Amino acid sequence: MKILVLNCGSSSLKYQLFNMDDESVMAKGLVEKIGLGDSELTHQPQGKDKIKISADIPNHGVAIEMVVAALLDKEHGVISDMREIDAVGHRIVHGAQMFSASCIIDDKALADLETVSELAPLHNPPSILGIRACCEKIPGVPMVGVFDTAFHQTMPAANYLYGLPYEYYEKYKIRRYGFHGTSHRFVSARCAELLGRNDAKIITCHLGNGSSLSAVDHGKVVDTSMGFTPLAGVLMGTRSGDIDPAIVTYVMEKEGLDTAAMNAVLNKKSGLLGISGVSSDMRYVEEAADQGNERAKIALEVFRKTVVSFIGAYAAEMNGVDAIVFTAGIGENSALERAAICANLTYLGVDFDAAANDCRGKEVEISKPDSKVRVFVIPTNEELMIARDTKALAESVK
């Protein structure tokens, strides 16, 4: 079975074609600057040279046509007939309370999805465009939606309700949703496999440009650090994470900012970048700190402190923890951040293995064999998770 996985942004489209017989990637690529002029398709077939095609790509429909053409291309393609694509899996950022699991996107689901767009105005509309374009260009193939929020839908009300008037939850659906769910699900499932048990208490740390932590007990999320939007939680590349909410109106008044400008401050000018003034990229902040830059050092300390605090909070909430997982760009690659974070976890029973930690981008246990709490680095693979869900759902409707 061959599954096409799509991740549509407002002006971009990422794709991977999986052969689910062995879960291998047959081809992957990216369409950039859709509708902006100067568009480009980068196509990487497995085992062949990467190609770049510049073209006028006015909308997602044309982008999908180009992706299919690249997959079918005599020289650079990996399939010979479009009918070889058995199903398409779409990454969708927000599923609200309506979508608590991946599902087949039929007309009813698409109509429901439209109603969720106001909760994720930047992210959901491009996914809907992608789904509609696929229905037109790859007709008769099951479409599956896989939601970043779905895995977190098991949270109890005590962990998803904010201390706000209840009517805002009823009227505006204001609650904690959580994001990166596909990644938290992938790495927590793999961790359970490595532990050889499904009843473990696991804290998953997805630390990348955007970062979030989840507390997973018996395979179900009980709490997560992102909230109503992906702005909440730990300090991120350019996002503030949790702050005193009163700061928002105070700064707006002082700086004369409107809501759009304040949103930009919190989402694009804060975090590692905001504190360090160096970069949003962890590598550059670590480098600057190493060279003695004081603000870069503080930015790292704030990042580590927020991660350590959530780990402590989640261990308390679950009344224990069996394993901690690091994943995503920083979690998989920065031995320095993992070591600094784990240095504050000895009280939990983490016996850190510095030698094992000295690695990048591969699955490894970084706690010593007798450690009470086991610590793993597990590379995430959201696309594969989407492909697996899509395969299972497509088979169920055959």
d(CA 358, CA 366): 9
Q: Which residue has the tokens 């079918």?
A: 72
Give the gyration radius of the chain's Cα atoms: 22
Q: Residue 207: which H helix or E strand, with range? A: strand 201-207
* Least distance CB 218 / ligand AMP (angstroms): 27
62 touches ligand AMP by CB under 6 A: no
| β-bridge mates for residue 62, sequence order | none
237 touches ligand AMP by CB under 6 A: yes
* Least distance CB 151 / ligand AMP (angstroms): 17
281 touches ligand AMP by CB under 6 A: yes
Stretch touching ligand AMP by CB under 6 A, among 80-88, 134-142, 281-289, 345-353: 281-289
d(CA 55, CA 38): 7
d(CA 378, CA 380): 6
For ligand AMP, the closer of residues 153 and 183 by Cβ is 183
Say what the alpha-carbon torsion angle 340, 342, 343, 349 is, to the nearest 10 degrees.
Answer: 180
Token digits of residue 366: 């970084």
66 touches ligand AMP by CB under 6 A: no
Tell how far CA 396 is from the center of its chain: 26
Q: Residue 30: which H helix or E strand, with range? A: strand 24-32
Interface residue with ligand AMP, options 192, 282, 373, 377 (CB under 6 A): 282
Q: How many CB atoms lie within 10 A of CB 199?
A: 10
Q: Which amino acid is at 260?
A: A
Stretch touching ligand AMP by CB under 6 A, among 69-77, 80-88, 245-253, 325-333: 325-333
Q: Are 121 and 166 in contact (CB under 8 A)?
A: no
227 touches ligand AMP by CB under 6 A: no
330 touches ligand AMP by CB under 6 A: yes
328 touches ligand AMP by CB under 6 A: yes
Residue from 376, 381, 389 nearest 194 by CA: 376
The residues carrying an active-site annotation are 148
Stretch touching ligand AMP by CB under 6 A, among 167-175, 260-268, 328-336, 366-374: 328-336
Interface residue with ligand AMP, options 153, 333, 357, 390 (CB under 6 A): 333
Stretch touching ligand AMP by CB under 6 A, among 82-90, 126-134, 247-255, 322-330: 322-330
Stretch touching ligand AMP by CB under 6 A, among 124-132, 141-149, 261-269, 327-335: 327-335
12 touches ligand AMP by CB under 6 A: no
Residue with the shortest CB distance to ligand AMP: 329
Interface residue with ligand AMP, options 224, 334, 367, 371 (CB under 6 A): 334
Interface residue with ligand AMP, options 89, 178, 208, 241 (CB under 6 A): 208
* Least distance CB 281 / ligand AMP (angstroms): 4
d(CA 175, CA 143): 28
* Least distance CB 208 / ligand AMP (angstroms): 2
For ligand AMP, the closer of residues 48 and 360 by Cβ is 360
283 touches ligand AMP by CB under 6 A: yes
d(CA 63, CA 34): 7
Kindly provide the b/e burial profile for residues 135-156, where b requires at least 16 CB atoms within 10 angstroms of the residue's own CB: bebbeebbbbbbbbbbbbbbbe
* Least distance CB 174 / ligand AMP (angstroms): 27
Distances (CA, A) of 59 to 148, 287, 347: 24, 40, 54
329 touches ligand AMP by CB under 6 A: yes
Residues engaged in binding ligand AMP (CB under 6 A): 208-209, 237, 281-283, 286, 328-330, 333-334, 360
